[in-house]
Amino acid sequence: MQDILGLIQDPGAWVALVTLVVMEVVLGIDNLIFISILTNKLPPEHREKARRIGIGLALLMRLALLGTVAWIVQLTQPVFEIFGQGFSWKDMILIGGGLFLVWKATKEIHHNVDPADHGEDFIAKSKTSGFAAAIGQILLLDLVFSVDSIITAVGMTPHLPIMFIAVIAAVTVMLVAATPLANFIEKNPTIIMLALSFLLMIGTTLIAEGMGFHVPKGYIYAAMAFSALVEILNMLARNRRKQAGGGH
C-alpha cells in the first residue's frame, strides 16, 4: 500500500505512466489495423463480437505476460549465433511475427487485386471456422506485439502497477476505436490497400529488428501518418468532384 501511495505522489511515476500509455496506444495502431482487416472478412453480424473477444483475450494475455515480466526480460538473452550474430527468443518471436504479417498482408493484397481468387481464405469460407481462425490470428499477432512492448516498458519503468494501468488504458482505447476504424476501412476501398501496405512495412520492420537492425519507430509512424494524410486529402478531393458533378 505504501508503495502505491509513493507512486501516486511521485511526479516521475506520472510521467512514466503517460509516456507508457501513449506508447501502448501507438503500438496498438498496428494491431488495430490488422484486426479491422481480418474481422471485416467475417459476416457483418459476427464482426463486432470477434473484435471484442479478440481484444479482450489479448488484454488477458498481456496482463498474464506482465505477471511473468522477469521471465519476459530474459528472452533478450542470446540462445545461439549465426555468422557472429546472436539471436534471442525475442528476436525469433519478432522474426516469426514479421514473416506471418508479411505473408498475411501479401495474401490480402493479392485477394484485393484479384477478387475472384479466394484460394485458402478460411476466414471468409465459413462462419464457425472463420470466426475461430480470426480470433486465433488476432491472438498470435498480439503475442508478438506484447512481448516487444513489455520489454520496452520494462526499460522505461520498473513499476508493475504503472505497466498494468498503461496496458489496460491502451486496450480500452483499442476496444472503443476498433469498430469505427473497421467501418471506415470497409467504406473506403483505397484505405484497405493503404492499410495492407502499412502491415507489410510493419512486418518487414519486425523481421529487420529480429535480425539485429534497429529501425526507429518514429520514422515508421511518421511515414504512416503522412501516407494516411495524403489518402484523406485524396478522398476529400474525390468527394468534392462527385458533389460538383452531381450539382450539374
Give the pLDDT confidence of 197-232 residue by residue, as tens digits.
888 888 888 898 888 888 787 788 788 888 888 888
16: which 3 cell numbers?
Answer: 512514466
CA dist 19 and 102 (Å) reads 29
- SS3 string, 24-70, reads HHHHHHHHHHHHHHHHCCCCHHHHHHHHHHHHHHHHHHHHHHHHCHH
106: which 3 cell numbers?
Answer: 501479401
pTM metric for this prediction: 0.72
Render pLDDT for 153-169 as a digit per residue (tens, 0 to 9): 776 666 777 788 888 88
Confidence at residue 124, expressed as pLDDT on a 0 to 100 scale: 52
Cα atoms found within 13 Å of the Cα of residue 72, Cβ hemisphere only = 22
Residues 6+ apart with CB under 8 A from 225: none
At 115, the pLDDT band (50, 70, 90 cuts) reads low
Confidence at residue 210, expressed as pLDDT on a 0 to 100 scale: 86
More confident residue, 113 or 97: 97
CA dist 143 and 72 (Å) reads 12
54: which 3 cell numbers?
Answer: 479478440
- Sign of CA pseudo-dihedral 111, 26, 212, 140: negative
- What number is the average pLDDT over the span 28-45? 84
CA dist 93 and 95 (Å) reads 6
User: How far from chain centre, in Å, is Cα 51?
Assistant: 13
At 2, the pLDDT band (50, 70, 90 cuts) reads very low
